[in-house]
């Protein structure tokens, strides 16, 4: 799944004309997340975030998958 968001995660403002704004892509070109930012400053702030208690999610997109926990 490829997800593209044009809402800057730092300011929560919509990014008009994303092709003219800084972006970040995490993942491969088939599966991943593409994030657009209002400014380079906002992108840099995002890159320097360090969650206090980071979580790593694992799962399956199989139809018979049941989450446990």
Q: How confident is the model at residue 66 (pLDDT cuts 50, 70, 90)?
A: low
pLDDT exceeds 60 at position 69: no
Looking at the whole model, is its pTM more than 0.85?
Answer: no
Q: What is the pLDDT of residues 9-48, one digit of tens each?
A: 999 999 999 999 999 998 887 899 999 999 999 999 999 9
Distance (Å, rounded) from C-alpha 31 to C-alpha 42? 24
Between 57 and 41, the higher pLDDT residue: 41
Per-residue pLDDT, 9: 95
């Amino acid at each position: 799944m490829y997800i593209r968001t044009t809402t800057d995660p730092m300011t929560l403002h919509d990014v008009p004309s994303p092709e003219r704004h800084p972006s970040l892509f995490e993942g491969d070109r088939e599966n991943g997340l593409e994030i657009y930012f209002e400014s380079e400053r906002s992108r840099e702030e995002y890159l320097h975030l360090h969650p206090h208690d980071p979580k790593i999610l694992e799962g399956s997109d199989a139809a018979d998958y049941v989450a446990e926990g």
